[in-house]
Every structure is written in structure tokens, then in C-alpha cells.
Amino acid sequence: MKKLALLAGTALALAIGAVSGAAAADKLKACWVYTGPIGDFGYSYQHDQGRLAVEKELGDKVETAYVENVAEGPDAERVFERFAREGCGIVFGTSFGFMDPELKVAKKFPDVKFEHATGYKSAPNMGLYNARFYEGRYILGQIAAKESKKGLAGYIVSFPIPEVVMGINAFMLGAQSINPDFKIKIVWVNSWFDPGKEADAAKALFDQGADIIVQHTDSTAAIQVAEERGLKGFGQSSDMIKFAPKAQMTAIVDDWGPHYIKSVKAVLDGTWKAEDVWEGIKDGTVHMADYTNMSDETKKLAEETEAKIVGGWNPFTGPIFDQDGKERYADGVVAPDGDLLGMNWYVKGVDDKLPQ
């Protein structure tokens, strides 16, 4: 049984990933905790690209470390505590589910700086950061409405959390600004990550008449189906143009680099303080991949909308009605951030019942 234990131990060590050694005294050590594998080419991959950007930008002033595949729960608390004890100057928790364990450790180590992505609990030494992906989704909606011949897009989604619902609503608002009768078919795959199911869902949606696919799941499977069928779609989290050179019209790319560089620099300069930042296209956290495979007119429209958003316009500006036709925001009223972060209703025109 000894050999077996050794085997299992090796497997676990491989699955958990590597943590680098102790920090040199004069360097700032910046540490990341990821929920998925950095090899997912999606959410955790993009956070790790941000870490690499910090290394590149700040060179030998910093040392970085990360742990991947950290389960949300008690395991996460051990990882945060270990990082705090190992001399990390700043620790980034990159997933919603790390919120409570990270906060607990932050209170225990007041001298270590913490930042948590996509959550809402903070402390004097724990700041928050998030990205306004919905800005990109509004642009996708406009492009889809312009380019779809059938006025019908297929939308693949994972779980009914506010982030996802916000994305669907922003997409629909964008599409309706071009074609008020635009329709979407929504398929829930109940998984963030299952390439096979994502491909099956994409095929089902295309078979039912959609000619554009939108996804809020992480793999490239759906856009590859679009490529095969000669139809169109959008990339998610990463620029997926290599997987679908003829099908990808653009992609919402998460670029955490600018924020991480800013935060780590602030720690180096001694100016860091716990903030609540929610950045979007303007700050470079949300980045639109090149607009291709669409008419020049659509491209121009997309660029104009992007410029408008950079200029400070919010896609969630009234009048906005919900599914029942009730007015949620009057003409000219901008939805407050708190409402967006807790969004649990569909805008008018979404033909789906929100799973509760």
C-alpha cells in the first residue's frame, strides 16, 4: 500500500500545482489563488496571463507565486493562510467563492494586503476588483442583430448567477437597439466547463435555426462548431480567432494585467489601499478582440458603440423594461452597480424563464 499512497500523493501534487519557494528579502512577493487549472484557456488562464504581465512589467522588483485548482471552501483558507505566512505582500483571490475564507485570513494578517475578484465583502486590508463584461456583451448584441440573417441567436450559458443574467440582458439590449424583434434561444448546460456539452448545445441551437452563437461558457468548442458549419459566433474570455478564423466576429477578452500591475505597483510605492474597483473597456480590463468576419457597416457601428462606452455611457441606461413589461429604469436613469451585481430578472423580449 505504500506504493499506492506514493502514487496518489504524486497525483495530488500534480493536480494542485506548484508553489514557488520563499521570497527574497528585498522583493515584493505577489501571490495568486486560482479556482481552475491555468490550462483551461478561459477564466483562470486569463488571470494567470495577468500575473505574467506583472512579472514582465515589474521585472525583478517582484516575485510571483500561484496555486491553481483550489476548491472553494476550507481548502482555500489553508492556501490563503499559507501565502500570508510565506511572506506574500499582496494576495489575489480570483474567484467569487474565495470571498469568506479570504476575508477570514485577511483579518488574521492585517499587514498583508488582499484583493478579491467579483465579490462584495471587504476589509481595511482587503480590496475588491471586478470587470464590466456586460459592456462587451452589449456590443456583441448589436453585432449579432446586424449580422444575423434570421434575427435569431443561440446563447449558451452555465449557471443563473447575476453575472450571467446581466450578460444576457446587456446582449439583448444591444440587439434590440438594432432590431426590436431580435430573438434569442437560451440553453443552460449547467457547467462552466464541458467542451462536449458546449458543442452539443451549439449544434442543437444551430439545428433550430440560429445563425449566430453566443457563449458564456469557457471552452472553444461552440465557436469551433460555428466554424465547421460556416456560421458565426463570438469568443469568450480569450481571443479564440485561431480556433475559428472565419467564424469569430470578435471576443470579449478578460485582461486583468492592467489592474494587477496597478495594484502591485501601489504596494511597491506604499500607496495601496483597499478599494472597490469595477473596471471595463475604458480601463482595458475588458478588451474587444479585432472586429472581423462582418460587414464594414457593422464594424463601424461596433467601434462607435465601443467609443461611446469608453466615453462613459452605460448600456444599462433606461428606459429598460422587464419581461412582464414593467418599467425598471425610467428614461435616462442608469442602473446602479448594486442592482447589476444582484440582477435576477430578464429584460423584455427574452423568451426564457429564469431558473431560480
Partner 1 sequence: MLEAIILTIITAATPLLLAATGELVVEKSGVLNLGVEGMMVMGAVAGFAVTISTGSPLLGIVGGAVAGMLVSLIFAFVTLTLVANQVASGLALTLFGLGLSGLMGESFVGQPGLKLQSLDVPGLTDLPFVGKILFGQDILVYLSFAAVFGVSWFLNRTRAGLILRAVGDNHTSAHALGYSVVGVRYLAVAFGGAMAGLGGAYLSVAYTPLWVENMTAGRGWIALALVVFASWIPWRAAVGAYLFGAVTVLQFHAQAFGVGFPSQFLAMLPYLATVVVLVAISGNRRATLFNTPSSLGKSFVPDR
Q: Does 199 bind partner 1 (CB under 8 A)?
A: yes
Closest to partner 1 by CB, 91 or 223 = 223
Q: Is 4 in the site for partner 1 (CB under 8 A)?
A: yes
Euclidean distance between CA atoms 103 and 301, whole angstroms: 43
Q: Do 155 and 303 meet the contact criterion of CB atoms below 8 Å apart?
A: no
Which of the residues 68 through 127 are near partner 1 (CB under 8 A)?
Answer: none
Residues 260-279 that bind partner 1 (CB under 8 A): none
Per-residue x/- marks for partner 1, 232-261, CB under 8 A?
------x---xx------------------
The answer to the question of residue 188 lying near partner 1 (CB under 8 A) is yes
Q: Which residues contact 306 (CB under 8 A, 6 or more apart)?
A: 139, 281, 288
Count of residues engaged in binding partner 1, rule: CB under 8 A: 52
Q: How far is the CB of 346 from partner 1 (least distance, A)?
A: 14
If one asks whether residue 8 binds partner 1 (CB under 8 A), the answer comes out as yes
- Note the maximum CA span of the chain: 70
CA 208 to chain centre: 28
- CB nearer partner 1, residue 113 or residue 197: 197
Alpha-helical runs (H) found in the chain: 2-16, 43-58, 74-85, 99-108, 133-147, 162-178, 195-207, 221-229, 257-269, 296-310, 337-341
Tell me: does residue 190 bind partner 1 (CB under 8 A): yes
Q: Write out the DSSP string of 110-129.
A: TTSEEEEES----BTTEEEE
224 is a site residue for partner 1 (CB under 8 A): yes
- Given the rule CB under 8 A, which of 114-122, 220-228, 246-254, 300-308 is the region that contacts partner 1? 220-228
Asked whether the beta carbons of 115 and 129 are under 8 A apart, the reply is: yes
Angle between helical axes of 74-85 and 99-108 (0-180°, round to 10): 30
The helices-and-strands tally (H runs, E runs) of the chain is 11, 14
* Of the residues 39, 124, 180, 319, which one makes contact with partner 1 according to CB under 8 A: 39
For residues 154 and 326, give the distance between their C-alpha atoms in angstroms, rounded to a whole number.
Answer: 25
My answer on whether omega of the bond before 160 falls inside 30° of 0, hence cis, is no
Instruction: Rank residues 237 and 298 by Cβ distance to partner 1 and give the closer one.
Output: 237
Query: Does 290 help bind partner 1 (rule: CB under 8 A)?
Result: no
Does the footprint of partner 1 cover residue 319 (CB under 8 A)?
no
Among 37, 162, 318, 349, binds partner 1 (CB under 8 A): 37
Residues in the site for partner 1, rule: CB under 8 A?
A: 1, 3-4, 7-8, 10-15, 37, 39-42, 45, 154, 185-191, 193-201, 203-205, 207-208, 210, 219-221, 224, 228, 238, 242-243, 351-353, 355
